[in-house]
Amino acid sequence: RSHFGSSWRSDVLQRCSAASTVMTKLNRNVSSLPRKQRKALYTAPSHKRRKIMSAQLSRELRTKYNVRSMPVRKEDEVMVKVGTMKDREGKVIQCYRKKYRIHIERVTREKTNGQTVPVGIHPSN
């Protein structure tokens, strides 16, 4: 029996069509490849980095504005949720878009020469 028979071909086509219906993309113009997602993140211009640097809102603000997250900006009141600086609150001093970090007052560390410097925190934190 040949592998190129009609029954074999129809069986393969059925499997392919079943797999393609499960793995469909919503938008054909947007890539789902991880390397392209990383490249887009690293090469994003400043106006797009603003949108990427978004933080989740508290439950009260979420119900008030009906939005889960918003871009972080200077003077926002934030709270660190994860890491060694967990549960620290303060105002945003600076948004460092080039490194995808924000600097928060009272979230600092001391250098070996005694100088205190702000610790960069990722906004999703």
CATH of region 33-121, choose from 3.40.50.720, 1.10.10.10, 2.30.30.30, 3.30.565.10: 2.30.30.30
Tens of pLDDT along the chain (125 residues) come to 555 555 655 665 566 555 555 667 888 998 889 999 999 999 999 999 999 999 999 999 999 999 999 999 999 999 999 999 999 999 999 999 999 999 999 999 999 999 999 999 999 98
Query: Please, which residues have CB within 8 angstroms of residue 72's CB and are 6 or more apart in sequence?
Result: 53, 54, 55, 78, 92, 95, 102, 123
Domain limits of the chain?
A: 33-121
The pLDDT of residue 93 is 97
Phi/psi at 119 (nearest 5 deg)? -95, 130
The pLDDT of residue 39 is 96
Give the C-alpha separation, 121 to 102, whole Å. 5
